[in-house]
Amino acid sequence: MRQLSAAALAALNLDNPTFFILAKIEFSTILRATSLPYDVVFNGATYLSSNPIYSFGPPRVSSSVDREVYELAMLDHDNSYQAFARSGVTGSLLTIYAGFLDSSKQPLLGTNDVFVAYQGYVDSCKVANDGSSKLFLIRASSPMGNLDASGGYIASKDGMDQVNTADTSFDDIYSGGRSVSLKWGKS
C-alpha cells in the first residue's frame, strides 16, 4: 500500500482540501497535462497547463472484474490534441496522478505527495466542439477490463486470411461464388 507523506496527509486534513490532477499519455511522444492553471514539474517532467484538464471521472474501486471506464476531457482550443486523436492514440497507456495543495495553496509535488489515481489504456478519443469550447475526450479502460472480453470471429475469406492465409475453408463463401454442395448441420 502506498504511503503518503506527512505534508500530503496534512493537506488532506484541511477543512477544505484541494486536489489537482496530472495526466500522462504514453504515445509516440508523451503528452502531459495538468488541471492547475500553471505548468508544474513532477518527477522530472513538465505537465502543461496550456490546454488544461477540463473534467475527469472519479476513480472507482470495484470488487469484481468489470470494464471500468475512465473518462478524461481536456480543452483543445489551439488544436494541439487533435493530431493525437487523428493519429491513433488508441492503445496508449494513460496514467492519472492526483495530488494536493497545501494550506498556502501550493501544489505538493514530491514523489510521496502524489499518487496514481488511475492507470489504463486508451479505448477511444475524439474532439468535440459545441461552439463555446473544444474538448479532447478520452475514454480508457483498465487492463482488468479485458479479462471478460470475448473476441469476435470474422466468418469471411478476408477474416480467415487474417488468421491463416493457407486455410481455404471460406474461399467459396462470398457473394457471387460457386455453388457449394456441402450441407451444414443435421440432415
Between 138 and 176, whose confidence is greater?
Answer: 138
3-state secondary structure of 9: helix
Which range, of 13-17, 45-49, 107-111, 130-134, averages the lowest pLDDT? 130-134
Banded pLDDT at 27 (limits 50, 70, 90): confident
Nearest-5° Cα angle at 121, 124 to 62: 105
Banded pLDDT at 29 (limits 50, 70, 90): confident
* Residue 89 pLDDT greater than 90, yes or no: no
What is the DSSP secondary structure assignment for residue 10, as one 8-state letter?
H
- Name the residue with cell 475526450: 137
Q: What pLDDT was estimated at residue 88? A: 72
Phi, psi of 127 (to 5 degrees): -110, 130
Residue-range domain boundaries for the chain: 6-141
At position 94, the amino acid (one-letter code) is L
C-alpha 175: how far from chain center:
39
